[in-house]
Structure 1
């Protein structure tokens, strides 16, 4: 025996958890494969699929949708999402047909932060029975003025796996404005990225 102390094991080479792994903790690893794949991206990746979008028809609903940069109504439209991710944030560059929408997602004090137009949302994210749910916990206007979260209780997202594909449903309705947008569809690794 040489008497030399063993070198401590370094964890610096271990992969840091992604934003959604941080938010969900151990339940993340019980999710279906397509959800784990999409939310395990490190670096750059792209997914492609199809989306159906319904937009609110009222004047206030249309104005809210425009301020948030929401896409127009479309059916069976091509959807491409390019991801750029590190342990601190993810940028999602969505292309709904020819309409582009990019947002940055971050983990902030156990909540998912995302800015849409002048609103900064904080979502409580949880997993149950193979599905991920996003529900509004906090909202700020222009990043500084708190707004009552109860006004945004009908802004939510659900993600699940069906037939081996990642599926999603997003909806937003507001008091006075009514339904602003609802869209659903599916994604899978883009053909030019797979393999």
Structure 2
């Protein structure tokens, strides 16, 4: 972490709970500046036409299995993530609003409540807007995200399903997050 820049986004939002995260999860979220992480990903995509439209609007990755790299640029104001799965890039911008994490993915901005449970970072949707218009938070009960550590390796598991559309995407995998 840069000494003059102040705390990174996730430690700031989680406060004392950040120390309860496993070391690999802490390492991913601790630093400011630019970093790149490499790993493997397995992506399952929904087939319903509405699921495909929602996935396009949020620029979700295509189905498949293989290498992934994640570029993170972090500052005290927020973070920009680029998740690169083959030629596809899923970009998002994250920042803090009150005690929540905001993430803009394509045409949609989400608000997440973050918590630490069973040695994992849990993301829960607390609000969403599409093109600035609020969406009912109940639509997002099928959205979950978890970051954990298994055998010393950073793991991620993200699933998004919506009423009527069904599964949008389920992606999971790991990243090398060295000390």
- The structure with the largest strand share of the pair is 2
Gaps spanning 5+ residues in structure 1: where? Answer: 1-12
Q: Which runs of 4+ in 1 moved over 2 A?
A: none
Gaps spanning 5+ residues in structure 2: where? Answer: none
Are 2:146 and 1:158 aligned? Answer: yes
> CA deviation digits over 1:51-75, x for unaligned, max 9?
0000001111111111211111002
The correspondence for 2:97, drawn from 89, 108, 111, is 108
Q: Give the root-mean-square deviation of aligned CA atoms.
A: 1.4
Q: Distance in 2 between matches of 1:37 and 1:121?
A: 24
Give me the TM-score of the superposition, normalised by structure 1: 0.87
Are 2:170 and 1:182 aligned? Answer: yes
Bigger-Rg structure (1/2): 1
Q: What residue number does 1:5 align with?
A: none
Q: Distance in 1 between matches of 2:107 and 2:91?
A: 14
Q: CA deviation at 1:91?
A: 0.6
SS of the residue corresponding to residue 19 of structure 2 reads helix
**Aligned residue-pair number:** 177
Kindly report which structure 2 residues correspond to 1:109-148, keeping only aligned pairs within 5 A, or say none.
Answer: 109-143=98-132, 145-148=133-136
Q: What residue number does 1:69 align with?
A: 59
Q: Distance in 1 between matches of 2:108 and 2:5?
A: 32
SS of the residue corresponding to residue 57 of structure 1 reads coil
Q: What residue number does 2:155 align with?
A: 167
Q: Distance in 2 between matches of 1:102 and 1:118?
A: 11
The correspondence for 2:19, drawn from 29, 43, 61, is 29
Q: CA deviation at 1:15?
A: 5.3
